[in-house]
Amino acid sequence: MNALKKYLGLVWMAIAIVSYYVLFQIAVDKIAAKPTADTIIEWSIFAIIFFPIAVGLWMFGWLAWKGDYSQLPVSNDEIEE
């Protein structure tokens, strides 16, 4: 199961990178097709808002790849404060 978690970390990192790349390409295409202020503002906001989400997905995948999720606590007694 830990190996599966580790390799799914790569999947999460790939999803983050590919999804932001696709969103950015769509934004560039939409802005190029109709370069009005409304379109530029709309797609710029989409790209800016989604960037931290993509970074969070990438960080989640990186932590999974490093193995930080290999030992998860089962109960509250296992959590160190």
Domain assignment of residue 73, yes or no: no
Chain centre to alpha carbon of residue 71:
23
Give 57's DSSP letter: H
Domain assignment of residue 81, yes or no: no
Domain assignment of residue 56, yes or no: yes
Contact by Cβ (8 Å): 42, 34: no
For the chain, how many residues are written? Answer: 81
Q: What angle do CA 17, 19, 23 make, to 5 degrees?
A: 120
Mean pLDDT for the stretch of residues 25-30: 96
pLDDT in tens, 42-70: 999 999 999 999 999 999 999 999 988 87
Using CA atoms, how far apart are residues 16 and 36, in angstroms rounded to an integer?
A: 29
Structural domain tally of the chain?
1
Chain centre to alpha carbon of residue 30:
22
Domain assignment of residue 78, yes or no: no
Domain assignment of residue 74, yes or no: no
pLDDT at 78: 62
Q: Which domain holds residue 57?
A: 2-68
Domain assignment of residue 44, yes or no: yes
Domain assignment of residue 14, yes or no: yes
